[in-house]
Amino acid sequence: MDKLVIEGGKPLSGTIVIQGAKNAALPILAASLLAEGTTTIDSVPHLLDIDVMLNILRELGCRAEHTDDTVVLDTTSAHTSHVPENLMKQMRSSIFLMGPLLSRFGEAQVYQPGGCAIGERKIDLHLQGLQALGAEIEEVGNRIVCRANKLTGADIHLSFPSVGATENIMMAAVLAEGHTTLSNAAREPEIQDLQRFLNAMGAKIMGAGTDTITIEGVDRLTPCRYKVIPDRIVTGTVMVAAAATRGQVTLQETQPAHLSSLIHVMRRAGVQIVVDGDIIKVGSSARPKAVERIVTSPYPAFPTDLQSQIMVLLSLADGVSILKETIFEGRLKHVDELSRMGADIRVDMNAAFIRGVPRLYGATVEATDLRAGAALVIAGLAAQGRTTVEQVHHIDRGYDRIETMLTRLGARISRSSPVPQAPNL
């Protein structure tokens, strides 16, 4: 397993262009199945999760090429609706292939994606939405078979604004007969990107970005070329790293409006942030101030995907901050690792009480999930001494060569890969 070795204490500086958004590219790749022919998607980063999605699409019969940051996907020969279990287990988000497969083939065979380090990750809202559109769901063991001779528009209300369920329902409704209204929908920018992509293929969707999305079913969709939005979570991760190392970093090709809640919190912590079009400049030369209370909630509130990263900045702040995680029940596992680096954090239920310390100290720590791993990298950059981050594959799921990106900003970080053991002959 690869490791990242970081010599901390050096402020980040320089300019960086942000990668395309993983959480926009994944549903858009799945939605490409809705049109027969060749779809081209630009600004798709090279990530483990993207590789898994492309392998699933190939297993379904598509031809997929990922060159530079462009994916060319020919769905003409897609011939099966059965997503292999081994691939589903590699990436639970493949659950939102159900909608496109159901639309295209009238059937979708997937497997319970199961939970992960951050939580149970239920899919009941996905299944309820598909059933409302006319799908019959059969669960045999951990296999889920959805069938629908015809999908018919419906009024659907989500009891929680689930991102994945919103996306699955959108993709199942675009070719359904009639009108669908989805209320209490998720409002994330990635939902808006999916709407733009589907409408570019000829769908009739309105309302993404609000809590009510309306969809008029159409007869068919046609392939298109589309560019994915910048990754707001990678943008936020770099912003926090710049502040935690008291550096000066300029981020280009961003969408600052997608980060309003983070920018607000960082400014309350005393970080200088200047926004100019698609450029964000982050600077910090003093110890951050504590932020009394931050609560993660669905967009546009503070995102759960930046919770572990902002915790690193707050662990260095002057004062006590409270950080409450309300989206995933298992998303505070990085606290133990940060404590081993000298952070003073107490967890009570889903709230972390963070008493800032003057500095962190390098240690050998383990990434438990994607964003926790990114937070440990930030902690290593800010810490005094050497930090080794293990289980780096978690980080590679969402960051395109994170060590290359940070080295460009002056970080002293390198990847060590174990030497393959010679077979015992």
Q: Which residues bind ligand EPZ (CB under 6 A)?
A: 23, 26, 93, 119-126, 160, 162-165, 186, 304-305, 327-328, 370-371, 398
Please write down the HEC assignment for all residues of the chain.
Answer: CCEEEEECCCCCEEEEECCECHHHHHHHHHHHHHCCCEEEEECCCCCHHHHHHHHHHHHCCCEEEEECCEEEEECCCCCCCECCHHHHHHCHHHHHHHHHHHHHHCEEEEECCCCECCECCCCHHHHHHHHHCCCEEEEECCEEEEECCCCECCEEECCCCCHHHHHHHHHHHCCCECEEEEECCCCCHHHHHHHHHHHHCCCEEECECECEEEEECCCCCCCCEEECCECHHHHHHHHHHHHHCCCEEEEECCCHHHHHHHHHHHHHCCCEEEEECCEEEEECCCCCECCCEEEECCCCCECHHHHHHHHHHHHCCECEEEEECCCCCCCCCHHHHHHHCCCEEEEECCEEEEECCCCCECCEEECCCHHHHHHHHHHHHHCECEEEEECCHHHHCCCCCHHHHHHCCCCEEEEECCCCCCCCC
Q: Which residue is nearest to ligand EPZ (CB)?
A: 164
For the bound state, the minimum distance from the C-beta of residue 336 to ligand EPZ, rounded and expressed in Å, comes to 19
Closer CB to ligand EPZ, 130 or 383, in the complex:
130
For the bound state, the minimum distance from the C-beta of residue 237 to ligand EPZ, rounded and expressed in Å, comes to 10
Closer CB to ligand EPZ, 120 or 139, in the complex:
120
Closer CB to ligand EPZ, 239 or 290, in the complex:
239
For the bound state, the minimum distance from the C-beta of residue 402 to ligand EPZ, rounded and expressed in Å, comes to 14
For the bound state, the minimum distance from the C-beta of residue 134 to ligand EPZ, rounded and expressed in Å, comes to 18
Q: One of 62, 116, 146, 224 is an active-site residue; which one? A: 116
Closer CB to ligand EPZ, 26 or 354, in the complex:
26
Q: Is 224 a catalytic residue?
A: no
Closer CB to ligand EPZ, 164 or 362, in the complex:
164
For the bound state, the minimum distance from the C-beta of residue 166 to ligand EPZ, rounded and expressed in Å, comes to 8
Q: Catalytic residue positions?
A: 116
